[in-house]
Amino acid sequence: MTETSYPGPRLELVDVHKAFGPKVVLDGLNLSVAKGESVVIIGGSGTGKSVTLKCILGLLHPDSGQIRIDGEDTVGLRGAERERVLTKFGMLFQSAALFDSLTVWENVAFGLIEGAGMEREAARVIAIEKLAKVGLDEDIAEGDPAGLSGGMKKRVGLARAIATEPDIIFFDEPTTGLDPIMGDVINNLINECVQDLGATTLTITHDMSSARVIADRVAMLYGGKIIWAGGVDEIDECDNPFVDQFIHGREDGPFALEVT
């Protein structure tokens, strides 16, 4: 992990706009994540949660606004400058996004070998260590990711996300597609790994039980903006009708028109 002397938030989005043709996805998004904080963004499908993460990582370019990481505006960074910023990040993708052409340990060690330039043998030792941290045996290290179950893939993805000990970790729908027990295992693993690293995390999810376990703070994204943000313990007392409908999963409410 890299130390930074910047006293402000680790991650800050200021008035971020992003549209795809006539469809406006982010419409003046503001969000701030403090060092060591775990923020979960909740919201319906197609509200721009994934677009937000992709804009921060530079996979998509916002139309306007600022995305500050440790105080540095990263919008428009390319090439080596973008790669420098990305060394601060780890990410667990929704589908785990493991590389089919590599073995399990090579997937976990990828950022160490290709990103940090570490020798393969040294990286393999760390990969095995990280696999153990997420509860996976060394036996699967030489295997093919295609042979793993959904839960195991997520664990390997988590091991890959923490392998380089990043400052900021993103989790994209970490429990989607998993049974409730495996979902809980992943949530607890995320908490353990993040506490060990002292990392700042930003998670997007539909899964309220996951949000309650992972989050320090919850933010609700709707209409391209954060319409409510507060502590995870405040969410049940929240009087925002969108949040209320979402956390209780009711059909009736302000979201109703869009459901039909």
Partner 1 sequence: MAAAGRARVLWMANPLAAIGRIFLSFLATVGRLSIFTGRSLSAVVTAPFYWRLCLQQMMTIGYYSLPVVGMTALFTGAVLALQIYLGSARFGAESAVPNIVVVGLTRELGPVLAGLMLGGRVGAAIAAELGTMKVTEQLDALITLQTNPFRYLVVPRLVAAAITTPILVLIADIIGVMGGYLVGIHRLDFNSAVYLKNTFDFLEVMDVTSGLVKAAIFGFLIALMGCYHGFNSKGGAQGVGRATTDAVVSSLILILISNYFVTEAFFSQ
Question: Which residues of the chain form contacts with partner 1 (CB under 8 A)?
Answer: 54, 57-59, 83, 86-87, 89-91, 93-95, 97-100, 110-111, 114-115, 160
Amino acid letter, residue 133: K
Q: Shortest CA distance to 46 belongs to which of 175, 244, 250, 222?
A: 222
Which residues partner with 229 through β-bridges? 219
Residue 29 C-beta: closest distance to partner 1, Å? 20
- Token pair for 59: 């996979």
Is residue 135 a contact partner of residue 189, using CB atoms and an 8 Å limit? yes
- Token pair for 213: 């376990």
Residue 101 C-beta: closest distance to partner 1, Å? 8
Residue 239 C-beta: closest distance to partner 1, Å? 37
Q: Which is nearer to partner 1, 8 or 115 (CB)?
A: 115
Q: Which is nearer to partner 1, 111 or 220 (CB)?
A: 111
Please state the φ and ψ torsions of residue 36, each to the nearest 5 degrees.
75, 0
Q: What is the DSSP code string of 26-93?
A: EEEEEEEE-TT-EEEEE--TTSSHHHHHHHHHTSS--SEEEEEETTEE-TT--HHHHHHHHTTEEEE-
Residue 38 C-beta: closest distance to partner 1, Å? 19
Please state the φ and ψ torsions of residue 89, each to the nearest 5 degrees.
-110, 150
Q: Which is nearer to partner 1, 22 or 249 (CB)?
A: 22
Q: Which is nearer to partner 1, 25 or 213 (CB)?
A: 25
Residue 116 C-beta: closest distance to partner 1, Å? 8
Q: Which is nearer to partner 1, 83 or 179 (CB)?
A: 83
